[in-house]
Amino acid sequence: MSSSAISPTAKLLDGPKKFIFLANLRAIIDQFGSLDKYEQKYGDIFYIPKSMGFPPLVIFSNPQAIERVFTANPNLFEVGKQTSAPVKALLGDNSLVLLDGVRHQRQRKLLMPPFHGERMKSYGRTMVDVVNKVISQWQVGQTIIIRNYTQEISLQVIIRTIFGIDEGERYLYLKKVLLDWLEIFNSPVKSIFLFFPWLQKDLGALTPWGKFVRQKQIIYSILQTEIDRRRQNLTLQGEDILSLLLSVKDEDEQPMSDREICDELMTMLFAGHETTANTLAWSFYWLHYLPEVGQKLQAELNSLNKNTDSNEIARLPYLNAVVSETLRLNPVVAFVGRQLKQPFNLMGYQLEAGTSLLPCIYLTHQREDIYSQPKQFKPERFLEKQFSPYEFIPFGGGNRRCLGYAFALFEMKLVLATILSKVELELLDKRPLKSLRRGITFTPAGGVKMKVKNLNLDF
């Protein structure tokens, strides 16, 4: 075991010691299968040596270890350059996800207002409007891939909340380019390019990375054009997120730079719709794969009337339990990450600077000592017990908890409630589905094939 990560005087962590590059490659192709295998072999905290540009990794699911990391002084950690390379390639250097220290604190404070308070009410109206618009195109008897529609809904929602637009050439063009861009890495094999910088060579528009670079440049050009339009004509500024970002200033009265705004918009466009679309697709799958679960939620939704406030819908206990259980069983990302700037003691293991600590969302949510029958979809567990922020971690934790988590939960609940109140769906994929890597997120393989059995769009 490499002494670059573990002090020779400390307890030694176990983990794979040979063919590390192949192990990393296998993990990219089958992330959850690899994690299950390693935990069965090495326990709930294990070590992977440095390899092919990746730092030494310590992966763990022990809630005490997670609490130790989430509650530690943030100054002990930094964002690892190698482990965050896929995120950097997608979202840019100034994304909140990639900042640490003072810059992270500043940016997080500036970005907080759009996701709290009264603004959520207007977002709720937008979310319901978008759902109604999308399902109005459905026909009884139509076969659909539900993930295509959850992506359409979540993308429309995030574009409307960011820019305040939902029609016209600019909107349609941005939507098309974003979807084309996300499709470049829509499979485990294609996703490999994101994880190995030496593969990231622009060899022309027809190559995967060349296409990726050109599509990203187009998206940034669209974002910059919109920023310029708003700066040059203040009457265009409104209640949308972009208008807010153009107006905020830090404690030194400094505004965000155009590049910072572009990178944060990119983060919201990606994280604000891709992850939500995947979780919603899984929810629709489970609600129809397990009819008794769907019937319980339908009974709860049937108690609503046409004028029920969106905040009341979001507080429905079984609806919340269904969304929570989906996030537990089918996380859209496998890890949250911290990289050590100085030595750190974790569960008796003395780890040295440069070690990347990876609290594992997937393995934590699979622990039998926390979740009985963890492979089963059982929303009731969230009605029977309150899980700690170190046992249930779909949005990470500590000072780096996902800033948009409340927005995401609100949207998932409103989308599910609105569709299930108006549409009867039948699951055609009546078989166990696997999670499939799609870039840096995971989605149900095949997207969940369903059939529209009945529509009641007047409700």
At residue 368's C-alpha, the angle toward residues 24 and 439, to 5°, is 30
Going by C-alpha positions, the residue among 409, 375, 385, 382 that lies closest to residue 395 is 409
Query: pLDDT value at position 313?
Result: 93
Q: What is the pLDDT of residues 394-448, one digit of tens each?
A: 999 998 898 889 999 999 999 999 999 999 999 999 899 999 999 889 999 999 9
- Using the predicted structure, report yes or no on whether residue 5 has a pLDDT greater than 70: no
Whole-number Cα distances in Å, 445 to 218, 278, 429, 449: 29, 10, 10, 10
Q: Which residue has the higher pLDDT, 91 or 288?
A: 288
- Using the predicted structure, report yes or no on whether residue 2 has a pLDDT greater than 70: no
Q: What is the pLDDT of residues 163-213, one digit of tens each?
A: 887 677 878 888 888 888 888 888 888 888 888 888 888 888 888 889 999
- Using the predicted structure, report yes or no on whether residue 77 has a pLDDT greater than 50: yes
Split at pLDDT 50, 70, 90, the class of 357 is very high
Q: What is the pLDDT of residues 369-398, one digit of tens each?
A: 999 999 999 999 999 999 999 999 999 999
Structural domains of the chain sorted by starting position, each given as residue range(s) with its CATH number in brackets: 20-455 (1.10.630.10)
Q: Which three-class secondary structure string do you get for the chain?
A: CCCCCECCCCCCCCCCCCCHHHHHHHHHHCHHHHHHHHHHHHCCEEEECCECCECCEEEECCHHHHHHHHCCCHHHEECCCCCCHHHHHHHCCCCHHHCCHHHHHHHHHHHCHHHCCCHHHHHHHHHHHHHHHHHCCCCCCCEEEHHHHHHHHHHHHHHHHHHCCCCCHHHHHHHHHHHHHHHCCCCHHHHHHHHCHHHCCCCCCCCHHHHHHHHHHHHHHHHHHHHHHHHHCHHHCCCCHHHHHHHCECCCCCECCHHHHHHHHHHHHHHCCHHHHHHHHHHHHHHHHCHHHHHHHHHHHHCCCCCCCHHHHHCCHHHHHHHHHHHHHCCCCCECCEEECCCEEECCEEECCCCEEEEEHHHHCCCCCCCCCCCCCCCCHHHHCCCCCCCCCCCCCHHHCCCCHHHHHHHHHHHHHHHHHHEEEEECCCCCCCEEEECCEEEEHHHCEEEEEEECCCC
Q: What is the pLDDT of residues 266-287, one digit of tens each?
A: 888 888 788 999 999 999 999 9
- Using the predicted structure, report yes or no on whether residue 7 has a pLDDT greater than 70: no
